[in-house]
Amino acid sequence: MPIKFSKKYQPLFKLLEKDNYKEVDIVILTGGRSSAKSFGVACLSLLGLVMKGWNVLYTRFTNASITDSIKPEVDDKIELLGYENTVTSTNTHIEHKGNRIAFKGIKTGSKQQTANLKSLSGFNLFVVDEAEELPDYETFEKVFLSIRSKEKRNITILLLNPTSIQHWIYRKFYDDRNVPAGHNGIVGNVMYIHTSYLDVPKEYLAENIVKYYEMLKEDDEKKYNQVVLGGWVENIEGRVFNHFKQNTFREFINLNLPEFYGIDWGKNHGFGIIWGKYDQYTNTLYLHELNSKSENQLLQDLNHDQRALLSKENGGIIVYTLTRLGVPKDAHLICDSARPDNIFMLQDFGWYRAIGIDKPKGSVMFNIDLLQSTNVFYTADSKGIDSDFKNYQYATDRLGVVDDEVVKLNDDCIDPSMYLRRHIRNIGLG
């Protein structure tokens, strides 16, 4: 039986011809559950490999061992396309006449360190699966630029389930370009394709899945529109925090309350520094973001002479940043305990109250509950706090059912806020 695709996918497969859509080098492929996004891209990858000699790189942010997650999806399409005697599939890649489909994760550690992808340059097609997991444009750009090749046509596909309109993908590729959500077409160098299960031939959909979607439509239309139809929303289904309010920096400065600073280390992800004040009588936490850039970004912002002055002996970019921000030497600094060397360094340079926060088993959910039970205000110009609190969410399964585990993304400002709040509780203030 020949493979059927929605007409919406026709522009995608036309990319196989080098003279088609020469201006396009990025594809934003969005859709809800069961919309055949992964199916379509897997077929495109195999066709490109066999018919055009493409080299293809599949990535995913949060799973360094993506050969256990994405690769089986691509392998399933080999027989479907009749390529079982044409390509060779190993544990790590799929190969045809010296060309390959490779699989490599972006995130390498417990935080957001990115893998070294320099050796993976020269790919024709770069697929970012579940691109909504990418924490920021800078991470995408770093990987995007590292795999570019002047000798070959390069096409990048961002494959995602839309989330919040606060997400950087929406801001960068929709809001900034005046492209409406759900758009199908080409704007500049970007091809937009949006599908849902309604665009998929019925014979490809399990009857029980369709029944569940129709039931969800009746019971929870908002969730149906977001999860099933793949709509961008103001509030994410499963969002952890919904009760925070904003105030002005002037209002924050004028508060005469006990002060604390939360710090979450980050070389490649956000180096979160949060200034907090706490009113124990009203159980209200006031927050102001001092920094959410990574250490590497902060270094890049310096000129050559400034960078030359930094060394381990003078505390490097960490001490430089705290000094520049005017963090008092007698301040209570509540830090991520994962880097005791950094804490000792801060103590050596005069921040004698710098301590690591205790992080026993179950502390993440405890900290969430603690913050949820607190009245929280943050300053209007704290963009990192605003974005993180709006996008921090519980995990969902493939049907969009919310779990009780959190997705450890969008937390560079949340984690230090949790640290200082937990410390406040530990010392008996609230």
Domains and CATH numbers, the chain: 7-228 (3.40.50.300), 245-426 (3.30.420.280)
Confidence of residue 410 (pLDDT cuts 50, 70, 90): low
Weakest-pLDDT range from 221-225, 393-397, 424-428:
393-397
User: Which pair of tokens denotes residue 302?
Assistant: 């310096």
**What percent of the chain clears pLDDT 90, i.e. is strictly above it?**
40
Confidence of residue 404 (pLDDT cuts 50, 70, 90): very low
* pLDDT given for residue 352 in this prediction: 95
Convert the pLDDT of each residue in 90-100 to its tens digit.
988 999 999 99
* pLDDT given for residue 140 in this prediction: 83
Would the pLDDT of 119 be above 60?
Answer: no
Weakest-pLDDT range from 71-80, 254-263, 284-293, 370-379:
370-379
* pLDDT given for residue 1 in this prediction: 47
* pLDDT given for residue 96 in this prediction: 95
* One-letter identity of residue 60: R
Would the pLDDT of 87 be above 50?
Answer: yes
User: Which pair of tokens denotes residue 341?
Assistant: 């060397």
* pLDDT given for residue 401 in this prediction: 44
Neighbours of 271 (CB within 10 A): 24
Find the mean pLDDT for residues 244-262.
92
Higher pLDDT, 235 or 125: 125
**Residue 238 zone, left/alpha/beta (φ > 0; ψ -120 to 50; rest):** left
* pTM score: 0.61
* pLDDT given for residue 238 in this prediction: 54
Find the mean pLDDT for residues 357-369.
72
Arithmetic mean of pLDDT over the chain: 84
Higher pLDDT, 67 or 34: 34
Find the mean pLDDT for residues 216-223.
81
Would the pLDDT of 117 be above 90?
Answer: no
How buried is residue 220: exposed, middle or buried, by Cβ count under 10 Å (0-12/13-18/19+)? middle
The residue assigned the tokens 């590729």 is: 173
- Give the whole-angstrom CA distance, residue 60 versus residue 72: 14
- Give the whole-angstrom CA distance, residue 286 versus residue 143: 36
Would the pLDDT of 49 be above 70?
Answer: yes
- Give the whole-angstrom CA distance, residue 239 versus residue 196: 22
* pLDDT given for residue 168 in this prediction: 85
Find the mean pLDDT for residues 330-342.
93
* pLDDT given for residue 83 in this prediction: 94
User: Which pair of tokens denotes residue 219?
Assistant: 């019971």
Would the pLDDT of 363 be above 70?
Answer: no
Confidence of residue 310 (pLDDT cuts 50, 70, 90): confident
